[in-house]
Amino acid sequence: MRGRTFALGTIAASLAGLSVSLYLLFPEQVASSPYCSINQLLSCGPVILGEHSRFLGVPVAAYGVAWFAVSSVLSLASLRSPSLMRYLVYWGALGLMGVAYLTYLEFFVIGSFCVFCTVAHLMGALVFGLALLGRASSE
């Protein structure tokens, strides 16, 4: 039962991250949001409209959509087969590497943080943490 709770948590975090990532696919809309430009440090515009907003010509948000979509599928599948939580842990670790790099870019290169991006990053970290706990509880 406890592993199921963690799986449900990863589903919720994955769907929340997927929603935010889908929203980030529309950078002009996000940049005009009143929650986007709080001050010089917390401003989405430089992050989602700048030169680092694309990787290999693809919006970084699209990678987030793909990551959270796979995370959602793995989370749902782990409800039926708890042993699949192991793959969600690996997937989460891969996602954390991406989050670490993107956070590095925001802090050291761009000098600004995107509030919506940070929410997506936190959802990715939550997926990893819950998957890790779910994996440990199913052993």
Please name the helix (run of DSSP H) or strand (run of DSSP E) that holds residue 35, with its range, or none.
Answer: none
| Sequence-separated (6 or more) residues with CB below 8 Å from residue 50 | 110
Amino acid 43: pLDDT: 84
Q: Cβ(65)–Cβ(122) under 8 Å?
A: no
Instruction: Break the chain into its structural domains and give their ranges.
Output: 2-137
pTM over 0.85: yes
98-123 b/e (C-beta count within 10 Å ≥ 16 → b)? bbeebeebbeeebebbbbbbbbbbeb
- To the question of domain 2-137 being in CATH 1.20.1440.130, the answer is yes
What digits encode the pLDDT tens for the residues 13-48? Answer: 999 999 999 999 988 777 777 777 778 888 888 898
User: Any idea what the Cα angle at residue 58 is, between residues 87 and 104, rounded to 5°?
Assistant: 70
Amino acid 139: pLDDT: 63
Amino acid 37: pLDDT: 79
Identity of the residue numbered 138? S
Query: Average pLDDT by consecutive 10-residue portion of the chain (139 residues)?
Result: 82 97 87 77 85 93 97 95 92 97 96 93 97 84
